[in-house]
Amino acid sequence: MQQSQTDFRDPSCAEPVGFAGRDTAGHLLQRLEQHGFVVAAIDDPGPPDAQMVALSAALGLGDPYIPALYRHAETVNYSASYSHILSNPHDQHPGFSTTAGQDWHVDGLLDEIGTIKTTVLYCVRAAQRGGETLLFNSVVAFAELREQDPAAAEALLSPDALTRSSTIPAIDLSATGPVFSVDPGGNYITRYTDNDTCTWNFSAGPAGALRRALDFLRVAADNPRYQRAVLLRAGQALIFRNDRLSHGRRSYEDSPDARRHLIRVLYANAPV
């Protein structure tokens, strides 16, 4: 996996790549394999839905995936293929409708690790200030941990290491699973999340191992080698491997007459 060699301190990893359809898809795929993410600059911005269809077709992503959390009667309002992320004081979604920052997570709170392979964030309108998406190369940090402290790494592979629970008001749903695993191709995949949805099972693995693992990952997440901030401009799309990177968001401020507006689309397929 080329992503294991990337260094997020290299400014070129976040340079936008022009997208004009299938002819330029190869450049996006190359960056995705190298870094786990790529910023696509749409050459001819049009209706956002049409841009997402074109991008999905060029990368072979197939149809959007609806996360398990949003397949319940209580959450049907969030079950659209294209999720609009913009501040809304009348909505209670803890991620979509607030200007607050978001801690590390992967998309798919209830889904089995590795189910959602690709996330696309398309910027319709940027914030007045802030709102950068943060990316953490968590699978590579885990590989380093496994070399330095195998017992701590093994604790993260435990099938009952982490329970994630919905924080949407009145929605009592949760899922337990490993923090990292290995896919059929032998590559590490991640479910690393460190936010208020988490309940850690510190009995997983040898005594003290999971706490050491968390300490290591929290330090690694602040290391510029593993962390990258990406500020999208209107007409740009951030495409990243949700099964290989964890992500978050810095808080932001809207202008009085124009709210920050991103569209999120999830896919069960990896780009091809």
- pLDDT classification of 158: cutoffs 50, 70, 90: very high
Q: What is the pLDDT of residue 151?
A: 98
Direct distance between the N- and C-terminal alpha carbons of the chain, in angstroms, rounded to an integer: 15
Mean pLDDT of 113-134: 97
- Predicted confidence (pLDDT) at residue 45 exceeds the cutoff of 90: no
Cβ neighbors of 162 (< 8 A, separation 6 or more) are 176, 177, 178, 179, 191, 193, 198, 199, 200, 201
Under the banding of pLDDT at 50, 70 and 90, the label for residue 16 is very high
Residue 192 scores a pLDDT above 90: yes
For 67-90, write each residue's pLDDT tens digit: 999 999 999 999 999 999 999 999
pTM: 0.97
Averaged pLDDT for residues 137-147:
98
Q: Give percent of the chain above pLDDT 70.
A: 100
- Are the CB atoms for 72 and 109 separated by under 8 Å? no
pLDDT of residue 256: 87
Each domain of the chain, given as residue ranges in start order, spans 2-267
pLDDT > 80? residue 58: yes
Per-residue confidence (pLDDT) for residue 24, from 0 to 100: 87
Domain 2-267: assigned CATH number: 3.60.130.10
**Which two three-digit tokens encode residue 189?**
């995949």
CA distances from 239 to 2, 94, 182, 201 (A): 16, 22, 22, 32
